[in-house]
Structure 1
């Protein structure tokens, strides 16, 4: 009986290994790629775009050469044409020119009028952006001119808000805050997202480039670092709605608008400061210090212990509600 059992076990092992080998062999045989397809997949894995990819011109103009790259490099007479800002382009072909000492990658593009032209990749990519609204938002928001403009606006807005709030002794996040943790949470979320945004560009540039060329708002279809970043971005509008609701309940209309303006200025400053300082490795220490500072400031805010049973207003003590006049025992 023992020998019979051993034989059965041996046959089972042999058959299972044989089945695995045959299945593995069939999977390999089912996918055969041509040399051109292999080159295209290899290019896509490093450059994140390939044939039939769509671009939009973001520069004022883009010059494309009508002849083949070899003719241009060889000094032969060539023609060129200009495509203007906002024009849509599609990648028609990608050509490797080893004799070009400037850039060996040349890209052929077709515009809306079916005109074809070539351009070096190093010349092309800074002047175009993917034809996707998310990619276009990232491109515009990462523009140096936009960052400088945001810095100027944030400084002036914060200065005006602080001056106005100090003059009228109004509420402002971190300094004379309302009894709500949501404004503090929003500022911390913006600071964390800005730090993670800069970290992805420094430590995972290929991952960020692939996301830039193939963006998605689904946090569960991307790697973990991008998933955390997208979750923090999705959390912002939810926290904003909670902030507006709490401000509406605790402040008058005029005070609420002023408070939300100061909150927006603080979030803009957080984004600018942490997205820039993280690139110089200082942002991580600043983030830890900012978290400690923000939570400490919130803990010093007087917190209401009771809620009015009639209107829902927060009360420091029982008795008559100053908002609706109801008696709370």
Structure 2
């Protein structure tokens, strides 16, 4: 009964995740944007203090208009993957924004700036193209949570922000090179420790002294396949991946074919992982279960790191084929065992001494 309850609970969680994959977060900043711009325009007109000043301002804007190219919002959205109203989160220590118009900065006029601190959410208020700017022709106006407006170059902006969607932030975190190096070090240490522990106790481990379940082998192979496919999308279809990064979804049926396959692999990884845990709990004792799952987790971590990195240099493809062949060959050889130890019941390749308990089977 407990087992059926746990399976039902897991299925409910999976259904909840599937439904949330279709949900698009709309932050308050997007709804406040038009009101904020109107308020800012009204305040600027009041501060101008008269028709003559407004005429001077209009004439200056007309001069600047000759330096500015109109932005086609649709083509800009397709090429740059974001547009007006898009939400970002500042991830660097600070984001510096120019208070004045970008044309003033391009012409070398006196300007000042202000900083937006790390963790603050901002929204794109306007976009301008300045062909005369040799550094970066694309300028983006940013509105902060405090209704402050400022301009910055697109290149500088994208280095200091991430899309506000939680899935995008998760992708950014796992794409960080420092985290990758940290994972490599931790994985090497963990695998070394677990290998020593497992060999000392002659315990079970996937691919070597595996249990009679197909799920662990399948999980390890799918992790390797997903990592290689993830790197392949970045290598051969970077714009497709960039579009997914800016507009992510967990629903595989709403994505292009490449992303569809990748998301199916991710969901398969989750489902097979749950089946693996349930099967290991059934076949092993509690202490051995924890040790086996720890070893399986270490193998999967190594697979993710190795294939996601080496595939970028094309080495991962032949290595993936060799790994899949090895993994299934080992499992098929293991599943063909027909002898059991008369003392402890462990499966044996052949008659003789049991490697688990040491009993001699004739």
**TM-superposition CA deviations, 1:97-135 (whole Å, max 9, x none):** 111111111100011101001111111102111110111
Partner residue, 1:58: 91
Partner residue, 1:273: 306
Q: Is 1:164 paired with 2:197?
A: yes
User: Do 2:70 and 2:129's aligned partners in 1 also have CA atoms closer than 8 Å?
Assistant: no
**TM-superposition CA deviations, 1:48-78 (whole Å, max 9, x none):** 1000000001111111111111111222111
Partner residue, 1:283: 316
Instruction: Give 1:300 shift.
Output: 2.1
Alignment partner of 1:301: what SS? helix
Selected match of 1:155 from 168, 188, 208: 188
Distance in 2, matches of 1:76 and 1:203, equals 44
Selected match of 2:160 from 114, 127, 151: 127
User: Do 2:224 and 2:304's aligned partners in 1 also have CA atoms closer than 8 Å?
Assistant: yes
Q: Is 1:178 paired with 2:211?
A: yes
Selected match of 2:148 from 74, 93, 115: 115
Instruction: Give 1:46 shift.
Output: 0.4
User: Do 2:71 and 2:129's aligned partners in 1 also have CA atoms closer than 8 Å?
Assistant: no
Identify if the C-alpha distance between structure 1 residues 231 and 41 changes in structure 2 by more than 3 Å, giving closer, same or farther. Answer: same
User: Do 1:304 and 1:315's aligned partners in 2 also have CA atoms closer than 8 Å?
Assistant: no
Distance in 2, matches of 1:95 and 1:66, equals 15
Partner residue, 1:80: 113
Relative to the length of structure 2, the TM-score reads: 0.73
User: Do 2:70 and 2:128's aligned partners in 1 also have CA atoms closer than 8 Å?
Assistant: no
How many residue pairs match? The answer is 275
Partner residue, 1:207: 240
Selected match of 1:190 from 190, 212, 223: 223
Instruction: Give 1:245 shift.
Output: 1.2
Identify if the C-alpha distance between structure 1 residues 38 and 74 changes in structure 2 by more than 3 Å, giving closer, same or farther. Answer: closer
Q: Is 1:238 paired with 2:284?
A: no
Distance in 2, matches of 1:175 and 1:283, equals 22
User: Do 1:179 and 1:303's aligned partners in 2 also have CA atoms closer than 8 Å?
Assistant: no
Q: Is 1:144 paired with 2:189?
A: no
Selected match of 1:226 from 244, 252, 259: 259
Distance in 1, matches of 2:314 and 2:335, equals 36
Alignment partner of 2:334: what SS? coil
User: Do 2:71 and 2:128's aligned partners in 1 also have CA atoms closer than 8 Å?
Assistant: no
Instruction: Give 1:37 shift.
Output: 9.5
Partner residue, 1:295: 328
User: Do 2:84 and 2:125's aligned partners in 1 also have CA atoms closer than 8 Å?
Assistant: yes
User: Do 1:93 and 1:109's aligned partners in 2 also have CA atoms closer than 8 Å?
Assistant: yes
User: Do 2:207 and 2:327's aligned partners in 1 also have CA atoms closer than 8 Å?
Assistant: yes
Structure 2: segments with no counterpart, 5+ residues:
1-68, 340-344, 349-362
Alignment partner of 1:300: what SS? helix
Partner residue, 1:89: 122
The structure with the largest alpha-carbon Rg is 1
